[in-house]
Amino acid sequence: MFKLAERLEKIPPYLFAEIDAMKKKKMQEGVEVIDFGVGDPDLPTPEHIVEALKKAAERVERQKYPSYEGMLSFRESVARFYKRRKGVELDPESEVISLIGSKEGIAHLPLAFVNNGDYVLVPEPGYPVYYASTLLADGIPYEMPLKEENNFLPDLQSIPDDVARKAKIMFLNYPNNPTAAVAPKDFIKEAIDFCMDNKIILAHDAAYSEITFDGYKAPSFLEFDNAFEVCIEFNSLSKTYNMTGWRIGFACGNKEILAGLLKVKTNVDSGVFEAIQEAAIAAMDGPDSVIDENCRVYQRRRDLLVEGLNEVGIEAEKPKATFYVWAKVNRNSVDFVKQLIDKAGIVATPGVGFGKSGEGYVRFALTRGEEVIEKAIERLKKLLHK
């Protein structure tokens, strides 16, 4: 009776619906399903953050409409966090805004700058919101393949000149979801220069910037020369502080780009609950030992899972960052994932769900404890040795 708008019909169908149905069926059969599919930390939000929320929620002044750009105290905390963690100086009044999670900001950015027929450069495989938000803004997604032979970095020189001229935004995401790749400094410089030359907004999704291993530290794109000319960087407390359900993040960088995004937000949302902003301040101004401990936990899980996968013949390398393992299965990824669920009660994410270049890969999220990972490896041994 009611026909969806054409822009919605262009968005690919939800690939994971069938996998979710298989998972539910196994659980109904009494199988203890081990779910490595969703990037949602199993670790609790640190207690001092929860306490800050409780106290702030009781204050009457925190129960009213928040400001659209976020409390100045929150934006000042972001600036301190970036100075301490990245060595980047931010003006909290004009170079930081709050977000209802970084996904919200990423999704709204094309609405501020993309006109009908403009190109947006999106990594493929990649977080689906880059592609979907482009379509919702009536833009044209131009996919940049991330290939293993190029260390899962896009080949910027292969982008046609006519596409580059008509492109308004380039989305990048390092450390990367789903491949867990990291970006070397020379590539980041190349990306900034490319966007400068072509007058393109460089939108960097840095949601996994603090989940790093083996001494690696992920740089902010804003550390580099000329970055503030073209760059907006999205970040989130979701992965850094185990706060996925809290929906709090921020964008920082170029003032003009932030102002455009904020103009969209003032028309579609009413800001972030101030009690949650108070909790975020407690997180970012709190001890970095919270982040360090998270990284230690994920590194132990990474080592255990990667070694187990290789032992059963699934090729995987230990990533330097994120809490994902991008494993090469050299077969149809959806069929492989269905087999895992049906025969072993294990849920993973098919790589093709993130884009056609993800075919032949499966993503495992390190969001289950070491005992559960060991149990999963034992199930894989039984399945694959058959």
In tens, the pLDDT along 46-67 reads 999 999 999 999 999 999 999 9
Whether residue 246 is found in the same domain as residue 333: no
Domain termination residue (choose one: 284, 317, 339): 284
- How many DSSP H helices and E strands does the chain contain? 14, 12
In this predicted structure, the answer to whether residue 386 has a pLDDT above a threshold of 60 is: no
Domain termination residue (choose one: 235, 250, 284): 284
The answer to the question of residue 193 being in a domain is yes
Average pLDDT over residues 173-179: 98
In this predicted structure, the answer to whether residue 15 has a pLDDT above a threshold of 70 is: no
Query: What pLDDT is stored for residue 250 in this prediction?
Result: 98
Whether residue 11 is found in the same domain as residue 54: no
Among residues 249, 279, 237, which one has the least CA distance to residue 55?
279
Angstrom CA distances, 263 to 102, 139, 181, 246, 381, stand at 16, 19, 33, 23, 54
Residues in the chain: 386
**Lowest pLDDT segment from 4-8, 293-297, 372-376:** 4-8
The domain that contains 24 carries what CATH number?
3.90.1150.10
Write the pLDDT tens digit of every residue in 310-321: 999 999 999 999
Whether residue 180 is found in the same domain as residue 244: yes
Average predicted confidence (pLDDT) for the chain: 96
Query: What pLDDT is stored for residue 1 in this prediction?
Result: 84
Measured CA to CA, the distance from residue 194 to residue 189 in angstroms comes to: 9
Residue 273, domain extent: 47-284
Write the pLDDT tens digit of every residue in 144-156: 999 999 999 999 9
Whether residue 276 is found in the same domain as residue 156: yes
In this predicted structure, the answer to whether residue 158 has a pLDDT above a threshold of 70 is: yes
The model's confidence at residue 23, banded by pLDDT at 50, 70 and 90, is confident
Whether residue 317 is found in the same domain as residue 278: no
Whether residue 133 is found in the same domain as residue 260: yes
Among residues 319, 349, 316, which one has the least CA distance to residue 333?
349
Whether residue 273 is found in the same domain as residue 309: no
The answer to the question of residue 1 being in a domain is no
Query: What pLDDT is stored for residue 383 in this prediction?
Result: 86
The model's confidence at residue 210, banded by pLDDT at 50, 70 and 90, is very high
Q: What percent of the chain clears pLDDT 90, i.e. is strictly above it?
A: 91
E strand spans, the chain: 34-35, 96-99, 119-124, 140-145, 167-172, 201-205, 231-236, 249-253, 324-328, 346-347, 349-350, 361-365
In this predicted structure, the answer to whether residue 157 has a pLDDT above a threshold of 90 is: yes
Query: What pLDDT is stored for residue 346 in this prediction?
Result: 96
Q: What is the side-by-side order of every strand in the sheet holding 231-236?
A: 96-99, 249-253, 231-236, 201-205, 167-172, 119-124, 140-145
Instruction: State how many domains the chain has.
Output: 2
**Lowest pLDDT segment from 5-14, 78-87, 98-107:** 5-14
The answer to the question of residue 2 being in a domain is no
Average pLDDT over residues 334-345: 93
Whether residue 316 is found in the same domain as residue 296: yes
Measured CA to CA, the distance from residue 221 to residue 175 in angstroms comes to: 11
Average pLDDT over residues 193-204: 98
In this predicted structure, the answer to whether residue 14 has a pLDDT above a threshold of 70 is: no
Average pLDDT over residues 95-113: 98
Whether residue 232 is found in the same domain as residue 300: no
Write the pLDDT tens digit of every residue in 213-229: 999 999 999 999 999 99
Write the pLDDT tens digit of every residue in 344-376: 999 999 999 999 999 999 999 999 999 999 999
Whether residue 299 is found in the same domain as residue 211: no
The answer to the question of residue 322 being in a domain is yes
Query: What pLDDT is stored for residue 154 in this prediction?
Result: 98
DSSP state of 340: I
- Residue 215's φ and ψ, nearest 5 degrees, are 85, -5
| pTM of the model as a whole | 0.96
Whether residue 87 is found in the same domain as residue 195: yes
